[in-house]
Structure 1
Amino acid sequence: MSEPLLSPFAHEHNGELLSGVYGGDDRPDERPTVILLHGAGVLGSKERLLPVLGDFVARGCRGLAFDFSGHGESSGELRELSLRRRFEQAVSVIDARACGPLVLVGFSMSGQTVADLARHYGERVVALGLCAPAVYASEAWDVPFGDGDGRFSELIRTPDSWRASPALDALRAYEGRAVLAVPGTDAVIPPVVTEAVQEALATRAQFTRFELPEAEHMLGQWFREHADDRRRFVDAVLTGLGDGGWRRPAPGWPSSSPTTVRPSPPVS
């Protein structure tokens, strides 16, 4: 099978030029657009997510990934970014380039952004993929990230500040398909945060926990290097959405109980 064609684009938002990549054709139908959102920090960018994007496009979806300002090939300064600005940049890109149903896939810090977008777009969101996600206190939403020693860092390092995160409320209210990818070792996201995200998703969503026992926090890099796990994750996110209308799974599909996906044992 040939690799799907991915085309670059540039999007202007509030004086910043955001660099993105798009795949899939523009036929007016009900196929979803998959939005891939990278994590934070100097290493965060769309680049390592391109194999994931390619696999979604190969499955018949439209898809796009872009660099938040201050990351990758986009303009701007990372220290000036905030959770609010990440959300607003994502909305601007989605409104300009995505049509029909949405599948939102976020890595690390973008777990918060996915939750914000799920609340914003409502029933238009048919599936979520959360990969080692983070969630944050509401007080941190407007605060610029700074250089690692400012107000934002102080807020997110306050013990248990995340417990009242509006992101958890948004995930509890979400009723579509949801997959939580969990690495075996995560030195960034505390296990108690992951369990809180899982509990929230299991409230109403058609939820699957996708375990990667050998992986660490940077799941974008893991999926880039492990094609079988990447394709299994893509399959899990799209399971139950159908090949025609791409609507949300019916309530209770396939059952009301959460499921867990683990790697198959090696064949001896």
Structure 2
Amino acid sequence: MSEQPLSLTAFLHEHGGERLSGVQAGGGPGASATVVLLHGAGDSSAARLLPLVDEFAAHGCRSLAFDFSGHGESSGELRESSLRRRFEQAVSVIDAFVPADGALVLVGFSMSGHTVADLLAHYGGRVAAVGLCAPAVYAGEAWEEPFGAGDGRFSAVIRTADSWRDSPALSALRDFEGRAVLAVPGTDAVIPAAVTEAVQDALATRAQYTRFELPQAEHRLGLWFRDHPADAKKFAAALLTGLAEHGWTATRSWLRTTPEVPVAR
């Protein structure tokens, strides 16, 4: 983090009858990219990501985060939300607040790992880099289903063993050729190790990939970065390293220590 935190500006955005609350920072004439940070599920919100919003702004980027409907300061009911609605809300915010002619960097926590993949499929080559923090991916059948109260169709789909293996999110991650950083906690009681390895394999197919280990952390990496500013600084630097050179310097360094991951051709 910078010694003097930058100014965060609050914003409200209307979409689909909901009021979405967010914050942004940076964005001066020299901004190299816009970083959009997407929180996870449950009781998550943009509030725990504010230090990272500031950190990316300190690195010369425009940065922003917002509450999905049913979370934080936004309107709406969480049980009525869905993966599709989260994707559509993210698109609406990005189209309203992110310059169309600049590099786009997406950072997703937990459930929003899947949303980042949806956004990759939507924005294509406009996305320069992605940061996935203890990410989840889900079966395609879950995308339209409301989250409900834990006893509906969404829950039934995601609780089906190995339903995530054919997730369209993995296909989108395999196709991505930009910079990618996967932040992995030492202990994750939420995301199965097989999911994390599948995400890693997908990113290593074509992306300029780095695995960012946090051995002492648990699943809620937004809280970890909030409470460990040195790690937040390192994560931001890792994600932004080499964007102008397509990110291959860090990738090749990582591959030298992990020979079993193939180099994309």
> Is there any run of 5+ residues in structure 1 with no aligned partner, and where?
243-247, 262-268
The match for 1:12 among 11, 14, 30 is: 14
Q: Which runs of 4 or more aligned residues in structure 1 lie more than 2 Å from their structure 2 counterparts after TM superposition?
A: 250-261
| 2:263 corresponds to | none
> Do the aligned partners of 1:30 and 1:101 also contact (CA within 8 Å) in 2?
no
**AA in 1 matched with 2:169:** A
> Is there any run of 5+ residues in structure 2 with no aligned partner, and where?
259-265
CA distance in 1: counterparts of 2:171 and 2:183, whole angstroms: 19
| Structure 1 segment 171-182 matched on structure 2, within 5 A | 171-182=173-184
| 1:63 corresponds to | 63
CA distance in 2: counterparts of 1:11 and 1:129, whole angstroms: 24
**AA in 2 matched with 1:114:** V
| 1:213 corresponds to | 215
Deviations 1:71-115 (A, max 9, x none): 000000000000000000000000000011100000000000000
Q: Deviation of residue 31 (structure 1)?
A: 1.9
Asked if 1:187 is matched to 2:184, the reply is no
> Do the aligned partners of 1:208 and 1:260 also contact (CA within 8 Å) in 2?
no
CA distance in 1: counterparts of 2:9 and 2:97, whole angstroms: 13
TM norm structure 2: 0.92
> Do the aligned partners of 1:102 and 1:125 also contact (CA within 8 Å) in 2?
yes
| Greater percentage in helix | 2
**AA in 2 matched with 1:81:** S
Q: Deviation of residue 258 (structure 1)?
A: 3.6
Q: Percent identity?
A: 68
- How many residues are aligned here? 254
> Do the aligned partners of 1:24 and 1:60 also contact (CA within 8 Å) in 2?
yes
Cα distance change on mapping 1:122 and 1:260 into 2, 3 Å: farther
The alignment partner of 1:202 has SS state of: helix
The alignment partner of 1:255 has SS state of: helix
CA distance in 2: counterparts of 1:221 and 1:131, whole angstroms: 11
CA distance in 1: counterparts of 2:257 and 2:56, whole angstroms: 21
| 1:135 corresponds to | 137
| 2:240 corresponds to | 238
| 2:198 corresponds to | 196
| 1:255 corresponds to | 252
| Structure 1 segment 19-98 matched on structure 2, within 5 A | 19-27=21-29, 31-41=32-42, 43-98=43-98
> Do the aligned partners of 2:147 and 2:154 also contact (CA within 8 Å) in 1?
yes
> Do the aligned partners of 1:206 and 1:256 also contact (CA within 8 Å) in 2?
no
CA distance in 1: counterparts of 2:171 and 2:137, whole angstroms: 11
**AA in 1 matched with 2:209:** F
CA distance in 1: counterparts of 2:74 and 2:163, whole angstroms: 31
Q: Is 189-198 or 115-124 further displaced after alignment?
A: 115-124
Q: Is 17-26 or 64-73 further displaced after alignment?
A: 17-26
Q: Deviation of residue 204 (structure 1)?
A: 0.4
The alignment partner of 1:60 has SS state of: coil
CA distance in 1: counterparts of 2:20 and 2:89, whole angstroms: 8
CA distance in 1: counterparts of 2:250 and 2:224, whole angstroms: 29
CA distance in 2: counterparts of 1:72 and 1:254, whole angstroms: 36
**AA in 2 matched with 1:2:** Q
**AA in 2 matched with 1:216:** E
Q: Deviation of residue 119 (structure 1)?
A: 1.2
Deviations 1:22-64 (A, max 9, x none): 111353x6621100000001x2100000001100000000011
CA distance in 1: counterparts of 2:240 and 2:47, whole angstroms: 22
CA distance in 2: counterparts of 1:252 and 1:219, whole angstroms: 25
> Do the aligned partners of 2:242 and 2:248 also contact (CA within 8 Å) in 1?
no
CA distance in 2: counterparts of 1:73 and 1:220, whole angstroms: 17
**AA in 2 matched with 1:46:** A
| 1:118 corresponds to | 120
| 1:266 corresponds to | none
Q: Deviation of residue 255 (structure 1)?
A: 3.0
**AA in 2 matched with 1:18:** L
Cα distance change on mapping 1:151 and 1:259 into 2, 3 Å: farther
The alignment partner of 2:242 has SS state of: coil
